[in-house]
Chains A and B, each alone.
Chain A
């Protein structure tokens, strides 16, 4: 397994380099260093000298990928791409273009993201599994049909609708929770109620349908028929046999998203005023802050790769037939 992990670790480098190249190219396709300087210096009374000075101080006065005026390796190293991207591999995110320390901000803002994402994941898992099991229990009946229709309807609704609808219904009309906002420590709980409910509701359609499919696939297998033939109750068949075996794809699917929970949700955080990493990324895109955008994309890629590795490991743990070489 060590060899496997080492190999995956080495594979990660070209992937991350590719992601960096792509982010860099896409960002500078839309924004020039002059645009970035203007965004940071403001729109009024900005002189060309101030723009040049800003670019010089932050190294944005160099060529993007290739420096024809330099010699030797300097042609590649004295470029914006090299100078801005290399230190990311050491997890040194540096300062944002506005001057704030990115590592500090990420460390601060990942907690609100987790505070939303973890309950949504856990409660959502519980609700979706329960609902899926319920439908499987009544498979082939009108209850199952009605449930599937309901699920299709739920997953057809935009997540924005859930957010605005949830705020309107639970926050404005029924006044059960603050419409938006956040607080630190234990005071945060009352701000989490609404986004967690909205997050769970918006995920029921897709999550339950997926789990129902897993359960139905298991329910059609021979060992389930054997269990029934032995006279086991439907409850035991469902919970002991079907659920146990269907949990393998479910758990591995959950493991892959675990690292990504840190990154938060763009829409939810923006509408609920939650200062997480999702809204941090969105703000950076709006402010053309390349330093933050590249740091967050890099972090996202690292976490995604980590998630995939963890998934592979979880296969080994839950399924004795799997071995990693």
Chain B
């Protein structure tokens, strides 16, 4: 039976049959429109009350104990010998376990054992190898030894490198091309194994730091400090087999090489020997560089055919930490899952007095980690990330400049708080002054702004006063920073707060707070320096200074204009020389720039890590070091050499005060600002406390999956009526065209007169 040309089947429901016959589908346009509208209405109804349509995760994960975060660029290295950047540590620090870690809650930052049984106390020896007392003068100390005993029974994550067959032989250590034919990712290996962590694994990794082709970023530091490191590096270069044609290296067993810098004493004990006294070495022991690597992993990954499949230790970590990398697709998603063999650790039981009130001790003593998984999705742009965070698809977020006003409000006292819309969503705000500094450097080799003459010093001081960093922070950082008073940021030993901590050459203490000295004072200093009203006495014209800048986008123009304006206040003409970052670095390396802006982020919480940026032998031009201003003051250098070997205490504080006074007086930098980090998190995320030193904080995070699922459902119901409206508008607008077409089709081609 046919209804207007359409064959009706016996399966058609009765009510549809009635509708079909009543509307004469599809003969009349009203019938079609009616059906379309009904379809739209059904669509509208289907969207109400169900699961969100914009959920980027699988539906079955809605109430899972999973943390969601992102990464904006794929990690370059996941080998702890090579990795040295924050985005890589976000993964590595959860997987690898060095012997020490930073306490999650206590401040100032404090080292505590991670896999070690205790924080090692260095033992000192003189040049004849005789032990010295702990308070021996640094100049007598020829060697320091750190004896580290690891906890027993720690096991590695599941990994094919450990898998063994029935005879006890390694299952995947002699792979052929045929075996690898079906292997594309690590999870394609069906059998996994584990083994107990040994001291040998730590020593193995320390030896790896000397492998020339691994290019460990701290090889230079260790060459200076670790006994026999340079010789070990040369021996490896001589003894290791040549690279294959594809660039991969055959396995070279580093266990066969003796190394006086790191020795195994027994299954659970090893000792590290360094030259002289270097108290900061303990901090290095909390970084992934000193995490253990099992020799089996290198043996496994360095087989032929692995590199072509990107199966390398640099991409697939093997650790003992609370999580292991179960999905490693840097083009899309990285997934950390709870390590089934994790040795166990509990949430800290002590914290700062304010931590109790903040709920940070609610989980004290509970076993870690709390999460089952952490999913990191590739998110390259900040706008989609922010919007997804607001929808609840990410658990925490930083605040981009363009979203700052939406999220943050400052009260009358200038304190930051959440905006009404963020509070309504139950969000939390965390702020922390970072252990970083951004500064304007003077090239001390430059004949005009550099040198140690009174003239150049006064010129630098005048500029230091004129550069209004309070204004800079307000305009360009949304108030996220505090003006720096010296090279040591808050949170680092040696930093002084309040009146005692101000830079007297730039600030006065007035009304209980530092106040920048006046422009009149800056101009007077400038005149005293021989540049009255900013004029160069040699030419009579305005003094020209040259500022090396990296300009990468339209936003930089405003910054550079601001900088010009600051110098203009003194009558100085600032010539901005913009370039790309490569050329900029080259100019600084060669010492051809005059003024420049740069920054430093702390590796560890010790003033040595900031003051070495002004230590003469570290000069960028002469030594290729990090002293970009090429500042070289013998008095400062001598104090630095004494200070770096001292433990924190009054004596060290006194030296630090002296050193800070010297550099404030000489002003090789305009001290710039210490940035302040702001981050938001949803109400379902717990145990957040800014820890600028520790990277392994994922294990402390706890979420409330039920609350998250409920909030996400409430915030993400699809709104469908605009679609119905658009469809209706489209149909209505089409009608005149349909009628016009029909009229034209029916009209007579030629009208007879």
Contact = CB atoms under 8 A, between A and B. Distances in A.
A180 B308 contact: no
A64 interface: no
Contacts of B309: 101, 104
Interface stretch (A13-21, A48-56, A292-300): A48-56
Interface string A185-203: 0010011000000000000
Interface stretch (B154-162, B378-386, B463-471): B378-386
B226 to A, nearest CB: 14
A45 B626 contact: yes
B248 to A, nearest CB: 9
A174 to B, nearest CB: 5
A98 B83 CA distance: 12
B388 interface: yes
The 5 closest A-B pairs by CB, nearest first: A275-B331, A180-B384, A178-B56, A35-B582, A181-B56
Contact residues of A: prevailing secondary structure: helix
Given A35-B582, A104-B310, A141 B381 contact: no
Given A35-B582, A175-B716, A271-B383, 10 more contacts: A45-B84, A45-B218, A104-B309, A134-B737, A171-B384, A176-B718, A178-B393, A180-B385, A275-B378, A287-B76
Contacts of A190: 53, 56
B624 A47 contact: yes
Interface stretch (A36-44, A77-85, A241-249, A308-316): A36-44
A172 B406 CA distance: 15
A6 interface: no
Contacts, number: 166
B730 interface: no
30 contacts: A30-B582, A31-B582, A34-B586, A40-B76, A45-B221, A46-B220, A47-B220, A48-B624, A49-B220, A53-B212, A99-B312, A101-B309, A109-B331, A134-B737, A138-B741, A167-B383, A175-B391, A175-B719, A176-B719, A176-B723, A177-B54, A178-B55, A178-B393, A180-B381, A187-B58, A271-B380, A271-B381, A273-B380, A273-B384, A286-B73
Interface of A: 30-32, 34-35, 38, 40-42, 44-50, 53-54, 57, 95, 98-101, 103-105, 108-109, 134, 137-138, 141, 143, 164, 167-168, 171-184, 187, 190-191, 231, 233-235, 270-273, 275, 279-280, 283, 286-288
Interface size bucket, B side? Answer: 35 or more
A179 B76 contact: no
B307 interface: yes
Contacts of A233: 745
A73 to B, nearest CB: 21
Contacts of B719: 173-176
A46 B722 contact: no
B54 A179 contact: yes
Contact of A175 (B246, B385, B718, B741): B718
Contacts of B383: 164, 167, 271
B458 to A, nearest CB: 33
A38 B246 CA distance: 23
Nearest to A50: B215
B53 A175 contact: yes
Nearest to A276: B331
Contacts of B58: 187
Contacts of A48: 624
Contacts of A175: 52-54, 391, 716-719
B74 interface: yes
Contacts of B218: 45
A228 to B, nearest CB: 8
